[in-house]
């Protein structure tokens, strides 16, 4: 009896493997090739904003002179249905204010001007040119777009392994530790929420850019401290600002080439 | 051979029942984590990888250590180790399965795990980690099946298994090296970013 | 047959249990049930006709997902020349407002549970 049982178990195991193996080619073929979509026009009704390399310049002085305000964070989190869990552990933030000491900890300088030491500056995903998060993602759920340099997120593909959260030197990425829907203050109907178990971050409002609108934080900043533009366009405002004033970036020594510049 | 597992005295069965009770509790708590989200583990924005990944790393080390009993017999011809190589291989299988379970419970969307194979990403070390661990599991299942079967019949194992066993030795070293590289390549974590991490993990 | 009586009784019980869905629904007069989909509350035409949509709407949504998220292409011109957004919540649900009277009618009957709704908002459910 024992020999037959071994044979039976072997047969059962091989059958299970065979069934699984037979099912997988179907999973690998792309069913969408049966769809005949008409040629897609990339332009929205009001003309998209395009660039070779999007970048943001943050004028720390203007932000600091305006005083304590959270407009950029409030606008971004409202437009993108970012939940508020009420505790720092589960917190999800796409853009937020960080103290100068925390944002630029490698610029340690005891004799910095007093206002600068106590100022808070907005920090967000830097959309690096050499993003460590893109390099480590095992499923390419985050990738650097070739057309404009935005580091994008695909929430359908993310498996929630949090390797990108570990790899990001700036802490720009947040993981959904719980179901976010009950914690969204005011749901905006035109942008999806995310589900628990995926990582999210700022996407430079690519869905607004395609409609010809600037990112929500840039539009919301009353001080005009956030400037958004194309680095490869020599006439853009970001290039002019960077040519006129001295700028620093966060943790430049790590080689990530961040594209958010801070004018101090 | 399975009937050996079903025969035992009272102490044996109480041990088995205690272990199954632990497994049952673990499954129930995992179901709660699956429903409510990973926040119930106490992990948060500042500590994203905790006990799950720490245990995963440790068990990868245990799996690699199986090679410690295989090495003396096959590479140094130390005949006394002949009988216990099979134990090493079974330890490897058990600990690799535990590793895979730890990864399954640690990711936020476990049923999207096959995405790693559907969209292979050679620049990501996590992809190579799954390849290495999966390959090690397959290798050890084959080796232990053949050698245990041969021992049961009282004959020597077939000749072709020897190169497979020799392959499993560098493969065991590679699984822990790949796990070390997972941490070592992160500029964001300077504590781990050192070339010596792989030998440290192996040791 | 050794233990023949018990085996035959066991087989009969098994057959009764395995055909439970069939005779239970026949007994409750649901044998001829077919899902009734609510007509779209606005709009003259869908972007495709329903004979095409019924088997292919899942593939269409998958294609849209890859086009919008991975290629950044958010708008498309339909066969009739109008431009529409490739969006489940904004395009499909703008006409087929009630998910429970439209989408769920077939999905519940067939036991299909797409996870789109975990993220993609049904506007009517937020602002009834």
Which two tokens mark A252?
Answer: 């430049």
Interchain CB distance below 8 Å, C59 and A32 = yes
**pLDDT at residue A38, rounded to an integer:** 35
Which two tokens mark A69?
Answer: 């305000």
CATH number of the CATH domain containing A164? 3.30.70.20
Interchain CB distance below 8 Å, A32 and C66 = yes
Mutate to test the interface with B, among A91, A106, A161, A255 (most CBs of B within 10 A): A161
Q: How confident is the model at residue A21 (pLDDT cuts 50, 70, 90)?
A: low
Whether residue A46 lies inside any domain: the answer is no
The mean per-residue pLDDT over the stretch C114-120 comes to: 91
Asked if B142 has any chain A CB less than 8 Å from its own CB, the reply is no
The yes-or-no verdict on residue A36 having pLDDT over 60 is no
Interchain CB distance below 8 Å, A159 and B115 = yes
The yes-or-no verdict on residue A35 having pLDDT over 70 is no
Position with higher pLDDT, A108 vs A243: A243
Does the ipTM exceed 0.90?
no
Interchain CB distance below 8 Å, A176 and B3 = no
Interchain CB distance below 8 Å, B37 and A174 = no
The secondary element (H helix, E strand) that includes residue C83 is strand C83-85
**pLDDT at residue A168, rounded to an integer:** 94
Asked if A45 has any chain C CB less than 8 Å from its own CB, the reply is yes
User: C90 to chain A nearest CA, in Å?
Assistant: 6
Residue from the list A5, A27, A136 with its beta carbon closest to the beta carbon of B126: A136
Whether residue A248 lies inside any domain: the answer is yes
Whether residue A202 lies inside any domain: the answer is yes
Q: How many domains does chain A have?
A: 1
- Residues in C closer than 8 angstroms to A81, CB to CB, are 121
pTM of the model: 0.84
Please tell me the distance from the alpha carbon of residue B139 to that of residue B142, in angstroms, as a whole number: 5
Position with higher pLDDT, A116 vs A153: A153
Q: How confident is the model at residue A9 (pLDDT cuts 50, 70, 90)?
A: confident
The yes-or-no verdict on residue A74 having pLDDT over 90 is yes
Regions in chain B scoring below 70 on pLDDT: 1
Asked if A42 has any chain C CB less than 8 Å from its own CB, the reply is yes
* SS3 category, B1: coil
Residue from the list A37, A38, A189 with its beta carbon closest to the beta carbon of C89: A189
Least confident among A117-121, A157-161, B45-49, C28-32: C28-32
The mean per-residue pLDDT over the stretch A138-149 comes to: 93
Asked if B115 has any chain A CB less than 8 Å from its own CB, the reply is yes
Subunits with at least 3 CB pairs below 8 A relative to chain C?
Answer: A
β A120-124/C75-77 pair status: unpaired
Mean pLDDT taken over chain A: 86
Position with higher pLDDT, B17 vs A12: B17
Please tell me the distance from the alpha carbon of residue B91 to that of residue B23, in angstroms, as a whole number: 19
**pLDDT at residue C57, rounded to an integer:** 92
Buried b (16+ CB within 10 A) or exposed e, C77-91: eeeeeeeebbbbbbb
DSSP per position, B169-190: HHHHHHHHHHHHHHHHT-TT-T
Least confident among A37-51, A102-116, A236-250, B128-142: A37-51
> Please, what is the Cα angle at C82 between C81 and C83, to 5 degrees?
120
């Amino acid at each position: 009896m024992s020999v037959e049982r071994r044979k039976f178990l072997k047969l059962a195991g091989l059958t299970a493997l065979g069934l699984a193996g037979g099912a997988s080619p179907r999973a690998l073929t792309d069913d969408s090739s049966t769809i005949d979509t008409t040629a897609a026009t990339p332009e929205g009704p009001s003309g998209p904003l395009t660039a070779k390399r999007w970048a943001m310049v943050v004028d720390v002085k203007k932000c600091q002179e305006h005083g304590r305000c959270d407009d950029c964070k409030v606008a971004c989190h409202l437009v993108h249905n970012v939940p508020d869990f009420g505790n720092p552990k589960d917190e999800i933030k796409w853009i937020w204010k960080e103290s100068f000491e925390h944002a630029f900890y490698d610029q340690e300088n005891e004799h910095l001007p007093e206002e600068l030491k106590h100022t808070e500056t907005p920090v967000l995903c830097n959309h690096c040119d050499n993003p460590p998060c893109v390099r480590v993602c095992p499923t390419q759920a985050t990738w650097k777009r070739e057309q404009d340099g935005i580091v994008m997120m695909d929430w359908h593909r993310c498996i929630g392994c949090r390797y990108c959260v570990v790899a990001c030197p700036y802490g720009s990425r947040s993981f959904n530790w719980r179901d976010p829907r009950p914690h969204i203050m005011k749901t905006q109907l035109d942008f999806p929420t995310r589900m628990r178990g995926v990582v999210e971050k700022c996407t430079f409002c690519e869905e607004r850019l395609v409609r010809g609108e600037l990112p929500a934080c840039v539009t919301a900043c009353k001080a005009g401290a956030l400037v958004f533009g194309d680095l490869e366009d020599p006439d853009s405002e970001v290039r002019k600002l960077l040519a006129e004033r001295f700028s620093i970036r966060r943790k430049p020594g790590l080689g990530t080439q961040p594209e958010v510049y801070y004018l101090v | 051979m399975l009937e050996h597992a079903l025969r035992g005295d009272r102490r044996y069965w109480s041990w088995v029942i205690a272990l199954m009770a632990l497994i049952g509790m673990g499954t129930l708590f995992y179901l709660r984590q699956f429903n409510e989200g990973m926040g119930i583990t106490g992990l948060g924005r500042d500590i994203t990888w905790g006990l799950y990944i720490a245990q995963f790393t440790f068990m990868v080390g245990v799996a690699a250590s199986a090679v410690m009993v295989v090495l003396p017999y096959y590479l140094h011809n130390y005949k006394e180790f002949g009988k216990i190589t099979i134990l090493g291989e079974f330890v490897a299988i058990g600990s690799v399965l535990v590793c895979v379970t730890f990864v399954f419970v640690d990711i936020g969307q476990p049923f999207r795990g096959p995405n790693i194979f559907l969209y292979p990403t050679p620049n990501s070390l996590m992809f190579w980690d799954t390849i290495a661990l999966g390959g090690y599991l397959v290798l050890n299942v084959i080796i232990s099946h053949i050698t245990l079967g041969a021992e049961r019949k009282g004959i020597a194992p077939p000749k072709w298994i020897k190169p497979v066993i020799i392959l499993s030795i560098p493969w065991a070293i590679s699984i822990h090296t790949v796990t070390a590289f997972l941490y070592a390549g992160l500029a964001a974590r300077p504590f781990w970013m050192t070339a010596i991490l792989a030998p440290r993990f192996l040791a | 047959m050794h233990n023949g009586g018990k085996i035959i009784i066991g087989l009969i019980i098994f057959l009764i249990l395995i055909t439970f869905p069939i005779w239970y629904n026949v007994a409750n007069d649901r044998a001829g049930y077919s899902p009734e989909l609510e007509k779209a509350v606005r709009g003259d035409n869908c972007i495709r006709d329903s004979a095409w949509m019924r088997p292919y709407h899942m593939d269409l949504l998958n294609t849209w997902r890859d086009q919008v998220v991975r290629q950044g292409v958010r708008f498309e011109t339909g066969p009739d020349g109008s431009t529409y957004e490739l969006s489940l919540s904004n395009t499909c649900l703008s006409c087929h407002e009630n998910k429970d009277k439209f989408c769920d009618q077939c999905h519940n009957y067939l036991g299909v549970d797409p996870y789109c709704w975990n993220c993609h908002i049904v506007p009517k459910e937020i602002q009834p």
